[in-house]
Each structure stands twice: as structure tokens, then as C-alpha cells.
Structure 1
Amino acid sequence: MAESRKGDPSLTSLRDQIDGIDDTIHDLLMRRIELARHIGQEKSQAQGTAFRPAREAQIMRRLAARHSGPFPFPVAIRIWREIIAASLSVEGRFVVSVYVPEPLEAGLAYLALARAYFGSGTPLLQAQTEAGVLRAVRDGKAAVGVLPIASDTHTARASAEPWWYTLTAGGSSRPRVVANLPWLTSADTGSDDARAMAVARIDAEASGDDISLIAFESTENISRDRIRKEAEFAGLLLDWAATWTDGEQSARWQLAQIEGFVAENDPRLANLVNSLGGELTRFVNLGCYARPGNGTAP
């Protein structure tokens, strides 16, 4: 029976069709990489950068909208992440610095996130502190830095101060938050699963569905609830992500996640500071990231 099926014309025809599809996919991949190489040459002349996470998120969402059939959508996304990473590699030098703390399990989790997002062929530069990641990006040794999700659980082992607080004093050339890792989450993703943020020295861009990160400096006298209510009145929907108080200063810094893309010169931020007088003294826009997908296609 097995011998007769080997000669089955229908099976031979199906296998030939699969071979043809494989060849077509391979041809299109080579064509895509060639186009990426030309884009890299154009950006090099204009002193631009190849990494555009907002554009990548738009690609992922477009794929989600058109995906159908039994092929697992998360697998499709993983394939495209590899394709995008390969394109970045031919557009110019692309290295990612990754925070790899102890214990080893935590460090490996951040490496796995970086590898899944930035591809199996992208060079990863390991740093044992958050400051080391920021330094690699600032000095040009890495195009992107992968750091832990901002929270109140900062430890001195990570760095003397939280990475997001460091960015508040970085000036116009500071790295900015540009992506959230992983891009695709699932219903099984728990609060203990590894997540990270990516920073890069590029301008933030709107993807169409974003979350912005704004750091506010305030006095100790004002509550989070009051700031939130005034923010809503100013047209900003926010949730608190982290707080940091430098022992040598009386001011308190609070990191907020705000719904939507908030530009550097968004007048709502200035209106919020003015509405609270001297209790909210200033703000720093730390960037934004595209809202992650939920692991399913429509």
C-alpha cells in the first residue's frame, strides 16, 4: 500500500505545488532584502536610521487583519520578526544591548525576549546593569537597548537609579522608549512572565495605537490621584508605572503610562503642569511604544 501511494499522481502534484510555493517565497525574500538594502543606502546618505518600531507594528497589525486558515498566527509573526531583523542587518550595522542580570534565569529571559524580537542573527551585547545598557546605546555601540519593564521594584544591583529616571536628565540626545517586548502576548501570559522595553536614539513615531511614557517631577505633597484627575481634565488618560525619590532631593519623580501618542510639544502636558501650580514642577517625555498584539488574528 505504501509503495502505491508513493506513485500517487495527486501526491506528486501536491508536492510539486509546495516546491513551487517554496521557490516563490524564497524569490520574494531575496527581492525584499534587496529592497531593504536600497532603503539602507538612501538612509545612510540622509543620515537616517533603519530601525522604525512603529512601522514594524503597523506591518504586524496588517498581517493580523489579513491572516486566516489553520497556520498559527504567532508562528507567522515569528517568521516576520526574523524577516524584519534580516532586513535591518543589510540596511546597516545593527547591534542590540541587553540587560542580563543575575540570577541566570532572569538574564536568560531577557536574552530570549531580545532574540525573539530582534531575530536569531542579530548581535546581542550583554550588560549586567541598566546603566551599562544605556551607555552602550548612548555611545553608539548598540542601536537598541533592552531593559526591564519600569516598576517600583528597582534594586541597587540593577543600577544606582532606575533607567527611566536616568533618561529624565539625558537632554535631547537621550535614548527614548520605542518598543515593548514581546510584541505579541497571549491569554496565558502572566504577571511573572518576562517583559521588557526597548530604547533607542530615535524620535518617537505614532503607530496608530500607542502608549506614551511621561515622567513627572512633583513635590511630596501631591497625591497620584489628584494628578490623575487633573490629567483626565486635560485630556490625558494615565496609569502610574513607577515612582522614584532621590535621597538627596526633596522632589519625587513618577512615571506615567498615557493612552495614545503624546508628542514632545503636546500642549496638554504644559496645561497639566500649569493647572497644578508649583506642586507638579515639570515633565519629561520618555517616548512611546506600540500597544502589543494579543496573540490572535481577527
Structure 2
Amino acid sequence: MSEHIPSLADLRREIDVLDDQIQDLLRRRAEAVRRVAATKQSQGSLDNGAFLRPGREAQILRRLMERHRQGLPPAALVRIWREMISALYDLQAPLKVAVHAPNKSAARWDLARDFYGSTTPMQLCNTATAVMRAISAHPMTLGVMAPPEEGERESWWPMLAGRANDTPRVIAKLPFVPNPRGRLAELGAFVIARTPPEESGEDCTLVVVVANEEAPSMARLSTLLAQAGLDGRVLAQQHGAGDGGSRMLVEIPGFMAEGDARLAALIAAEPGLIADAVVIGAYPVPVAEVIVSLSVTVEEGCQP
């Protein structure tokens, strides 16, 4: 007897059944999020963006990527989950996104939209100060910030070098999973919010080092970092900080919290040079994606 070959009608009916099952599972997931929100509300932990779990979300996406074998391209799989996660934010608190667009460039709008979903309200801000005002006016606002550039007129990262409880912190880096077929492959962004960063298991920390000299030796700084047990690299500098000193944005592998003993050791190593070192956030290391027969690799270090 010949093997039965399903007709197109049979296959389409199978797709309809699968669609119904997917929709039912989405409904169940939304209900689970509602229960989580209710529990957090009873514990008073939904204030000031505390419902955001950047570390937990990174773990979810990494797990999905690890078990992904075939079917959808990995970037599409992540986009679907990010759309779902972002849409379900509203069950906990109304989220907004302010996109930093220096030089009136909207290039990172799509990058932000890809990660935070089509239903999340977004606004374009052509200055870092405008983003900070948006976050101050609405604590549930995320800022998607352009990476620091040499000679930029306004740097956003020194604005985070305070220790007040409501000072925004870096919580993510985009894109988390690059899409090599998209036009946004060369772009990047840091995400800031009025919520503490969260450890994901593979992270990088950003520290603002305040120096008493306007142009400190980078070699000397690297030596002091190494002596304090910190394998850091300078991403950006701000000279002439108004007091004759300078500020440096340093990226350090691993997750660090404010008050880490290594930062105290850095300052103590040469207090005449290092005035302060402030953790301004941390982010889950993005996944580096190489699509070769739908294979996925995770690149070591802090670079996506």
C-alpha cells in the first residue's frame, strides 16, 4: 500500500490547529504574567520600573537560542519573543521608550522598535538631556542611547555618574541578537532606565572613573585597573569636566554592584589621580549570531 500523501487542505487544517494551540498558549502565558504582576503588586515591587527584569529576559532568550534547531531564523525567533515580552509589560506597568537621536537621526528607532515591540509608545529625542527629562517625567520610560562618540557635543554617560536612587542606570545593550540581513547590523545602543541592572550570568559593567587630571595617562589608568583586579577598557573620555579633571567611561567584564571592594581599591591605589569610581549600570552580553545552516555561536567577551 502506498504511503498517504497529505493534501494541501489537510496541511492547512493542521496549520489552523497549530495556530489555535499557539494562541491558547499565549493566553496562558499572559495569565501567568498577570499572576506575577499581582504578586509583585502585593509586595510593592512594581514601583519605578522594578518590574523590568533585563537579566531574566536575557536568560530566556539565551535558553531559546540554545534549544533552537531549525525552522525560523534565530533573529526572527527572538523578535517574536521580544514582541510578546514587550506587549505583556502593560499588564504590569505602562512602559515608554525615548530614543536618543543626535543630529536628528532616527536610525536607532527601528533598533528600539525591534526589541521593545510594535505596541510600546516611543518618542524621538535629539539630545541626551531630552531623554533624561522624559525619564524624569515618566519613571517607566526607557532611554535608548547612541554609543559614545569622539567629539560629541553632549555626552549622556556622565549624567549617570550620580548616586541618587532615581539616577538612571544602564540595563541593556542593543542589538541583543543581530540580524545580519538587516540594515541595522552596524548600529548599537545602550538602554538606560530608573531600575537597577540585573545579573544574567554573562554580563559587562560600566563604570565612570573621575580623575583629578584633565588628560590622565591611559597606560597608568590601565595599570591601576589591573592592580585592583579589574580588566577594564576605556570606551569614552570627557575632558575639562569643569573642575580641571576628566571622566572616563570604562567597560569591565562581569557584573559589579556599587560598593564593590575593587572600586575602593582602585581609588586607594592612587587617590591623587582617581577621585571617584561610580557604577552606572551593567548589561547582559549580547548574543553574536552567525547563520550558517542555522547554527548559533556565542562570542566571548563584551563585544556583540
Task: Please indicate, yes or no, whether the TM-score normalized by the shorter chain is above 0.5.
Answer: yes
Taking the aligned partners of 2:110 and 2:165, their CA distance within structure 1 comes to 31
1:83 lines up with 2:76 in the alignment: no
Unaligned runs of 5+ in 1: 1-7, 156-160
Among 201, 208, 216, the alignment partner of 1:208 is 201
- Give the CA deviation at 1:217: 0.7
1:204-235 per-residue CA deviation (whole Å, 9 max, x = no partner) reads 21111111000001132631122112212322
Deviates more, 1:40-49 or 1:131-140: 40-49
Taking a change above 3 Å as real, the CA distance of residues 86 and 187 of structure 1, as seen in their structure-2 partners, is: closer
Q: In structure 2, do the counterparts of structure 1 residues 15 and 188 end up closer, same or farther at CA, with 3 Å as the change threshold?
A: closer
Q: Which residue is 2:15 aligned to? A: 18
Tell me which moved more, 209-218 or 220-229.
220-229
1:17 Cα deviation (Å)? 2.2
What is the distance in 2 between the residues matched to 1:187 and 1:125?
26
Q: Is residue 2:259 matched to residue 1:262? A: no
CA RMSD of aligned residues (A): 2.3
CA deviation profile, 1:259-278 (whole Å, cap 9, x unmatched): 01011121011111111231
Structure 1: distance between partners of 2:184 and 2:51: 32
Residue 21 of structure 1: CA displacement?
A: 1.4
Moved more, 91-100 or 175-184: 91-100
Superposition pairs for residues 137-216 of structure 1, below 5 Å? 137-140=135-138, 142-155=140-153, 161-169=154-162, 171-185=164-178, 193-216=186-209
TM-score calculated relative to the size of structure 1: 0.88
Q: CA deviation at 1:199?
A: 0.5
* Partner of residue 97, structure 1: 98
Q: Which moved more, 1:143-152 or 1:173-182?
A: 143-152
Counterpart-to-counterpart distance in 1, 2:164 and 2:112: 26
Q: Which residue of the partner structure matches residue 134 of structure 2?
A: 136
Q: TM-score, normalised by structure 2?
A: 0.86
Query: Residue 4 of structure 1 corresponds to which residue in structure 2?
Result: none
Contact 2:101–2:146, Cα closer than 8 Å, also in 1: no
Q: 2:267 aligns with which of 273, 279, 294?
A: 273
Gaps of 5+ in 2: 291-295, 298-304
Identity level (%): 34
Cα distance between partner residues in 1 of 2:122 and 2:52: 15
1:173 is matched by which residue type in structure 2? Answer: D
Q: Number of matched residues?
A: 284
